[in-house]
Amino acid sequence: MAGAGSPEELEVLLEDALILQDGAAIACLYDERGVVINEAGCVQRHDALRLLSPLRFLALPRSVTVVRDVAVVVGDHTVNVSCRGDDGGWRYVVTLVTS
């Protein structure tokens, strides 16, 4: 998978993967160094499905800020930082899960 075409599309792909409970698809949406951070600390991306599923994540961002190859997307229970890779695809680098 080459990532998403935009930060907004990345949010939609994450929502779809969570609905399908597809951990492999979720892993493809994260940079190889990407992490999910909850209130207790830093968790590697393989725990993203477990951490994000209970939130009923919806791809309805409150704000999207893009500067060159970095985007910050603020949602109801998440703040996502994504980067555009060398292949042009957007992938998550950090997801901050809030309550």
Instruction: Collapse the DSSP code of 82 into the 3-class scheme (helix H, G, I; strand E, B; otherwise coil) and give the result.
Output: strand
Residue 48 lies in a domain: yes
Return the closest-CA partner of residue 21 out of 63, 61, 53: 53
Residue 26 lies in a domain: yes
Mean residue pLDDT across the chain: 88
Question: What's the pLDDT score for residue 40?
Answer: 80
Residue 11 lies in a domain: yes
Residue 74 lies in a domain: yes
Residue 13 lies in a domain: yes
How far apart are alpha carbons 54 and 49 in whole angstroms?
Answer: 9
Q: Please give the average per-residue pLDDT across 74-86, as a whole number.
A: 94
Residue 1 lies in a domain: no
Q: Which tens digit of pLDDT belongs to each residue from 28-76?
A: 999 988 998 887 887 776 677 777 776 667 888 999 999 999 999 999 8
CATH number for position 68: 3.10.450.50
8 pLDDT tier (thresholds 50, 70, 90): very high
Residue 2 lies in a domain: no
Residue 25 lies in a domain: yes
Question: What region, left, alpha or beta, does residue 7 occupy, with left being phi > 0 and alpha being psi -120 to 50 degrees?
Answer: alpha
